[in-house]
Amino acid sequence: MSQSDFALWVYLSRTPLLWLTLTIFVYVLADRISAKLNRNPLANPVLHSVWVIGLILSFTHTPYRTYFEGAQFVHFMLGPATVALAVPLYAHRRTVMRVLLPMIGALAAGAIAAMVSAVLIAKVLGVPHDVLISLAPKSVTVGVAMGIAERTGGDPSLAAVLVLMTGAIGAIIVTPLMNAVRVRDMRARGFALGVAAHGIGTARAFQVDIMAGTFSGIGMGLNGLLTPILVPVFLPLLLG
């Protein structure tokens, strides 16, 4: 790199513009590939964009803080997008109202199963006590999980890592798992995914089927209300 190229790089790498542009283009590419592969779960666009950008940051010695100054504009849209879930919910309100009881049951079952099984499996495998606390809220959306971890004496950053890993795992396993147990009802598939794997699951659901996406959004929203109540109740029992 010549001196002037380097100066240009130093200038650009510090502007939010470069990292925002990179985020969008890496995602567009990952999404195109995912679409070309018929939305194969292993071609998950979030997963692949994340490691590609992570590699670029590490090669260019760019601190996350610098990257986030650009990427925050995309990150910020999570809030309005969550509000926007009301639109498909409204459009499908009749279908939703017909399965209100199944949704309430599946919400309770999915939320409790996620928390109890995660903590118990990890406990049996010898994961330390303080990590188990941060593991309990792993199925809800990241902001809520961090708040729960904070209130129950866990580590919010660790909780965030576990939440995002859970989302990626859910988005990858849901299609093969549901096909294996022959569940074709997109309402059930979507709803269970939203409860178990929050927004990353919902993002996957919207790419596969609008009905699955709608129900996934409802599952995610309802679990965001239920898990903050469940964790403080169940955690002492599970850790005891």
Partner 1 sequence: MLISLGLLLLCQLLGEALVHALGVPLPGPVIGMALLLVLLLMRDQLTPVLPHEVGDGTLEKTSTGLLANLSLMFIPAGVGVVQRLDLVVSHGPAILVALIFSTAIALLAGVAVFRLLARLVGEAT
Binding mask 197-216 for partner 1 (x = CB under 8 A): x-xx-xxx-xx-----x---
Q: Which residue has the tokens 């909780």?
A: 159
In angstroms, the CA 17 to CA 13 distance is 9
- Is residue 237 close enough to count as binding partner 1 by CB under 8 A? no
Chain positions 43 to 62 lying near partner 1, rule: CB under 8 A, are 45-47, 49-51, 53-54, 57
CB nearer to partner 1: give 18 or 178: 178
Chain positions 16 to 45 lying near partner 1, rule: CB under 8 A, are 23-24, 26-27, 31, 45
Instruction: Quote the crossing angle between the two packed helices 16-36 and 3-13, to the nearest 10°.
Output: 80
- What contacts 53, CB < 8 A, 6 or more positions away? 22, 23, 26, 67
In angstroms, the CA 208 to CA 206 distance is 5
CB nearer to partner 1: give 10 or 83: 83
Distances (CA, A) of 112 to 45, 63, 108, 133, 166: 29, 38, 6, 15, 15
Q: How far is the CB of 79 from partner 1 (least distance, A)?
A: 5
Q: Determine which residue in the list 133, 149, 191, 235 makes contact with partner 1, applying CB under 8 A.
A: 191
Contact (Cβ atoms closer than 8 angstroms) between residue 84 and residue 213: no
In angstroms, the CA 167 to CA 211 distance is 19
Binding mask 98-127 for partner 1 (x = CB under 8 A): xx-xxx-xxxxxxxxxxx-xxx-xx--xxx
The single-letter code of the amino acid at 104 is I
Chain positions 127 to 186 lying near partner 1, rule: CB under 8 A, are 127-128, 131, 135, 138-139, 141-144, 147-148, 151, 155, 157-158, 160-162, 164-170, 173-174, 177-178, 181, 183-185
CB nearer to partner 1: give 86 or 239: 86
Binding mask 56-95 for partner 1 (x = CB under 8 A): -x------x--xx--xx-xx-xxxxxxxxxxxxxxx-x--
CB nearer to partner 1: give 8 or 54: 54
CB nearer to partner 1: give 18 or 213: 213
CB nearer to partner 1: give 6 or 64: 64
| Displacement of CA 229 from its chain's centroid (Å) | 20
Please provide the distance, in angstroms rounded to a whole number, between the alpha carbons at the two ends of the chain.
60
